Homo-oligomer: A and B are copies of this chain.
């Protein structure tokens, strides 16, 4: 054993006993005859004291020469501190050092190993092993560890079986782009890495496994945006003989358990909102309901007064920013600039200030009387002091732009309490969505999602109107999980592939094994998957998932620390029977 204790565990009750510690030198304070060293490990920091007269001159010199991040082993007596440090759990004691061994020296790190560091993103990624020494990153990964253990504890208690599904599977053109793996033993053929274990978990239901889960790596070869990683982790789950409400109950239970065990928070009610209402009231299928600011549609009261922009719009819709009538011209202009940004895409913004004296001031006073504006304010339930922000145009883009503005106003008005967690189920998603590029319907969730029975007849006449037995869990405006009741009979699955534009042959080649499995007694089943990286960052109160992944890749999909991807040898290419272009 290199140590008797770690750097976080000595207390006043240990005073007067010997201890041997190992760790990293966080800080050296050299006052000539006295040297203090803060020794750090994963568990904490302990203060070491080297005092002239109490040790050899040689040892004192050795202490003076310690550099930041040196790894040392030291032995001494635990002593009560004269000046206690109540910020440290070990702050009541220090070690009066008797011996010191330098286990490994360290070059000066390229950035500060402190909570706030001077290292930029690129440098920290290259030296990720040093970045991981910093408290915030280490704590993020400790949180992740706890989330994993608690997730498994809950799932195990609920009789779910953890089953590992294969990583080397088969490429399918549906959905996102696959990473592929050339097979040496089967030249010209490729495995694919799974985008999710979807078909395998469904087969486990056909196998009668009844309840399955896995915390599993998934892969998507997509162009990376901030916080999208080519490999990511899911809590993947599936159950048999269940209806939608059974699944919602089970996984509300999981999320409540995690909040309770990991954050000590009791989650009370988890409302359900259908997709149509989410779009109508928030312009968004993952509304942040920490604050209200619901959309109010104004077509009835704002048309026919000669304002052609509104008169020609498919939708006129507004939000009420409480107490924001005090916004200056400059602030209002900034909002207009904001909504005109390409990523928001609106053409303009109409405002109405509800003045404290009961009058109204708007950007469309030319067209609307005080009485008109009062009708709007009444419809929007506005009080004096409120600000109305109104947009118009085609329904979908207008809702989408107003949703961005709503979230922006939530930030500006401080309505997004980071300590508050508001959970929501969004249900009744459309089964299909129209894709302009390919001029065909795509599965909104995936091709295995069950249509709602009541809407089956619409599949031929109005496919876009068919609702699915699909649901998302949303926390504070972040989609953390989603799932569906699945199709479990061959005919419906074949029909679904037909509507997605598969020929019979294509469906057979790609998913024949699943459709055949459905013919051997497939039970009704459904499931859900949670984005684990995102869930962890949400629990940690961070917008960045990278801090919650030990070794993330950058936006070009590179691991700059190990310098991967990288060229491979011609021998390797030859063995795989492939060539570079």
- List the interface of chain A (C-beta within 8 A of B): 1-3, 6, 22-24, 40-43, 69-71, 73, 103-107, 109, 127-130, 132-133, 138, 141-142, 144-145, 148-149, 152, 156, 161-171, 173, 177-193, 199-200, 203-204, 206-210, 217, 219, 221, 223-224, 230-231, 233, 240-243, 246, 488-489, 513, 517-524, 549-551, 553, 556-559, 561-569, 572, 574-581
Contact partner of A2 among B2, B24, B243, B578, CB < 8 A? B243
**How many angstroms from the CA of A42 to the CA of B199 in the assembled complex?**
20
A221 touches B184 (CB 8 A): yes
Q: Determine the chain B residues whose CB is within 8 A of the CB of A580 once the complex forms.
A: 187-188, 577-579
Most buried by B among A40, A189, A562, A565: A565
Check if A569 sits within 8 Å of B524, measured CB to CB. no
User: B residues within 8 A CB of A522?
Assistant: 71, 104
A-B contact sample (20 more), CB < 8 A, given A144-B163, A164-B550: A2-B243, A3-B241, A22-B523, A24-B521, A41-B208, A42-B210, A69-B521, A132-B204, A132-B208, A138-B209, A141-B209, A163-B550, A164-B549, A167-B193, A169-B562, A170-B564, A171-B568, A181-B193, A192-B564, A577-B581
Q: Are A551 and B170 in contact (CB under 8 A)?
A: no
Q: List 9 A-B contacts (CB under 8 A).
A: A22-B241, A42-B210, A109-B520, A130-B520, A148-B162, A168-B219, A168-B231, A177-B575, A188-B567
Nearest Cβ in chain B — how far from A503, in angstroms?
A: 15
- B181, B187, B223, B488: the one within 8 Å of A180 (CB): B181
CB A258 to nearest CB in B, in angstroms, measures 16
Q: Is the CB of B148 within 8 A of A520?
A: no
Please measure, in the bound complex, the distance between the C-alpha atom of A489 and the C-alpha atom of B550, giving whole angstroms.
Answer: 23
Q: Once bound together, how far apart are the Cα atoms of A177 and B144, in whole Å?
A: 32
Q: Once bound together, how far apart are the Cα atoms of A11 and B171, in whole Å? A: 47
A569 to chain B: which residues have CB within 8 Å? 173
- In the complex formed, the residue of B with least CB distance to A512 is B563
Q: Is the CB of B209 within 8 A of A167?
A: no
State whether A519 touches B181 (Cβ < 8 A). no
Give Cα distance in the complex from A95 to B235, angstroms: 37
Q: Report the minimal beta-carbon distance from A106 to chain B, rounded to whole angstroms.
A: 4
> Within the assembled complex, what's the spacing in Å between the Cα atoms of A322 and B209?
48
Cβ-defined partner of A129 (8 Å) among B169, B520, B567, B578:
B520
- Rounded to whole Å, the gap between the CB of A254 and the closest CB of chain B is 16
Return the contact of A523 from the options B104, B127, B193 (Cβ within 8 A).
B104
Q: Which residues of B contact A41 (CB under 8 A)?
A: 208, 210
How near does chain B come to A559, taking the closest CB pair, in angstroms?
A: 7
Cα A186 to Cα B581 with chains together (Å): 13
For A107, the closest partner residue in chain B by CB is B519
A142–B129 touching, CB < 8 Å: no
Q: Which of B107, B164, B221, B233 contacts A520 (CB 8 A)?
A: B107
